[in-house]
Amino acid sequence: MEERHKQILQRNRTNLVKELDPSSLYDLLLEKRIFTHDMIDEIKSAGTRRDQARELVRDIETRGSRAFPLFVEILRETGHLSLVLALQEGAPLGPLQPSDPPVPRPVVQPLPIVSPLDVDKQKIITPITPIQKPITTTPTPSPDGDFLKPRPQRVRRDSLQSYKMDAAPCGHCLIINNVEFDPGSELNNRSGSDVDCERLERRFKELKFIVEVKTNLKQRQIRHELSALSNKDHSPFDCCVVIILSHGTEVSHNRFPGAVYGVDGLVVPVQQITNYLNGRHCPSLQGKPKLFFIQACGGGEKDMGFEVSPEDEVAPPCGGEDDETDAIPMSSSSDSLSTSDEPDARATLPTPSDILVSYSTFPGYVSWRDPRLGSWYVETLDQVLSENAATDDLVTMLMMVNHEVSQNSAKGLYKQMPGSFNFLRKLLYFQAQN
């Protein structure tokens, strides 16, 4: 599929998932050879109507250069006119014009897609001719005849496309909120961090996590809490989340950049934080997503942005004059970065899988926080999760966060760009209310 068509589908994914009735499309998708019977069966097994719609839209992007215009044609024929208009606004379809009334086509006998030995599937293939009655929107029957029966809740199985995320509760969420720092640390207190903490505690409880909040931890205490989390039995759960709200700095690394400060002024590198939950040190989380959200500076550099052309103009700055940073200059203390007693910090460990680290700012740059309203990053993350968790995967939502935060300006001058290091192998959808 052409890249511009993929982008149009991605921009309209939320509306497609919300409004699409996949059952009315299956016959035409087979007739126009966009999908095979096996692919349709896989989409049907996704679960609810919304889950089937999401799977269908995602798979359309993999079906070649003609898939997009044929998909729009099918939407038109099945009465999804509002979706047709939304998709055509981004990509005029050229030769594909509305066919009203439909023009009879010559009878064509296509070769069967299924194997000649697959007798069961051949039995349900019905040749379509232009003289027959108009195509009905009745879904293709399945052997048991009940694949469209509503299910009491979204059931997402582990697959090549997405992680299993239907455990109740979904998993543990540890929030470390460092606000008041020891005078000897020479670090300022982080006013507004409690606002961030309350937002995220509420949000992840709504996403079905067991949330535990720890406040004002020293370096050794941070390590202790991470170790305790690693030693838990995560077998009944599908995911684990760690959120750290603190001052941060830039450190040398070979995998994940940055470090966060304990209230005593000593740091814990992000690289070591992730190692506590990797597949080697936490076997019960093997193959399951481990998510880390870091609200802290990646360094001391302030981003003044760059001028954009008129067509690329961004929204007016919304940062405050009193915004503060969570930045500390790059650490060079051998004591605070010593890893001689940390076996999980060795560079010989395998590359981590199923880990995503989301940073509030680009490595090396400061992260801005309003003393009254909290940080830009957490406020935006909370809002995006609230509005989109029911329809979009995590990586897509983090791109939304990146875009929104990039529109802000601190003191009318400084910018901020969040980002993430993504080692996930599949899409991740949270449990959320539709």
Question: Which CATH number does the domain housing residue 274 bear?
Answer: 3.40.50.1460
pLDDT at 144 over 80: no
Over range 8-36, report the average pLDDT. 87
In this predicted structure, what is the pLDDT of residue 324?
Answer: 52
pLDDT tens digit sequence for 65-90: 888 889 898 988 888 888 888 888 75
- Residue 192: pLDDT band (50, 70, 90) is confident
In this predicted structure, what is the pLDDT of residue 46?
Answer: 76
In this predicted structure, what is the pLDDT of residue 363?
Answer: 66
Global pTM? 0.56
Q: Which has the minimum average pLDDT: 12-26, 32-46, 124-138?
A: 124-138
* Residue 101, preceding peptide bond in cis (omega within 30° of 0): yes
Residues 270 and 415 in one domain: yes
In this predicted structure, what is the pLDDT of residue 117?
Answer: 41
In this predicted structure, what is the pLDDT of residue 332?
Answer: 34
Residues 69 and 181 in one domain: no
pLDDT at 126 over 70: no
As a whole-number percent, the residues of the chain with pLDDT over 70 amount to: 67
**Average pLDDT, rounded, for the chain:** 75
Over range 212-223, report the average pLDDT. 97
Range among 26-35, 46-55, 102-111, 173-182 rated most confident: 173-182
- Assess if residue 218 is contained within a domain: yes
Question: Which CATH number does the domain housing residue 85 bear?
Answer: 1.10.533.10
- Assess if residue 109 is contained within a domain: no
Over range 332-348, report the average pLDDT. 31
- Assess if residue 255 is contained within a domain: yes
How far is the C-alpha of 434 from the C-alpha of 427, rounded, in Å?
Answer: 18
In this predicted structure, what is the pLDDT of residue 257?
Answer: 86
How far is the C-alpha of 89 from the C-alpha of 371, rounded, in Å?
Answer: 43
How close are the terminal C-alpha atoms of the chain, in Å? 30
Torsion sign (Cα): 352, 245, 416, 405? positive
Over range 167-191, report the average pLDDT. 94
- Residue 434: pLDDT band (50, 70, 90) is low
Residues 325 and 194 in one domain: yes
pLDDT at 356 over 90: yes
How far is Cα of residue 98 from the mean position of the Cα atoms in its chain? 36
More confident residue, 386 or 301: 386
Residues 78 and 200 in one domain: no
In this predicted structure, what is the pLDDT of residue 158?
Answer: 55
How far is the C-alpha of 190 from the C-alpha of 368, rounded, in Å?
Answer: 11
Residue ending a domain, choose from 51, 66, 94? 94
| One-character DSSP codes across 288-320 | S-EEEEEES-S-SBPB------GGGPPPPP---
Residues 200 and 51 in one domain: no
Please give the biggest Cα pair distance in the chain.
86
Over range 408-429, report the average pLDDT. 80
- Residue 347: pLDDT band (50, 70, 90) is very low
The catalytically annotated residue of 172, 247, 282, 318 is 247
In this predicted structure, what is the pLDDT of residue 92?
Answer: 42
pLDDT at 210 over 60: yes
* Structural domain harbouring 293: 171-305+312-334+346-422
- Residue 229: pLDDT band (50, 70, 90) is very high
- Assess if residue 110 is contained within a domain: no
Q: Which has the minimum average pLDDT: 81-90, 225-234, 320-329?
A: 320-329
Number of domains in the chain: 2
Q: 253 an active-site residue? A: no
pLDDT tens digit sequence for 381-410: 999 999 999 999 999 999 999 888 888 755
Residues 90 and 177 in one domain: no
How far is the C-alpha of 357 from the C-alpha of 257, rounded, in Å?
Answer: 10
- Assess if residue 429 is contained within a domain: no
How far is the C-alpha of 187 from the C-alpha of 155, rounded, in Å?
Answer: 47
Residue ending a domain, choose from 94, 118, 138? 94
User: Residue 327: what are its φ and ψ, rounded to 5°?
Assistant: -95, 140
Residue ending a domain, choose from 70, 94, 118? 94
Residues 178 and 286 in one domain: yes
- Residue 109: pLDDT band (50, 70, 90) is low
More confident residue, 336 or 196: 196
Q: CB 391: neighbour CB atoms within 10 A?
A: 20
In this predicted structure, what is the pLDDT of residue 59?
Answer: 84
- Assess if residue 35 is contained within a domain: yes
Residue 398 pairs in a beta bridge with none
Over range 193-210, report the average pLDDT. 96
Q: Are the C-beta atoms of 292 and 175 separated by less than 8 Å? A: no
Instruction: Please give the DSSP secondary-structure letter assigned to residue 214.
Output: E
pLDDT tens digit sequence for 159-171: 568 999 999 999 9
- Assess if residue 432 is contained within a domain: no
Over range 189-211, report the average pLDDT. 94
Q: 247 an active-site residue? A: yes
What are the structure tokens assigned to 294, written together? 């870091």
- Residue 337: pLDDT band (50, 70, 90) is very low
Residues 83 and 183 in one domain: no
As a whole-number percent, the residues of the chain with pLDDT over 90 amount to: 36
- Assess if residue 105 is contained within a domain: no
More confident residue, 264 or 137: 264
Residue 369 pairs in a beta bridge with 324, 375
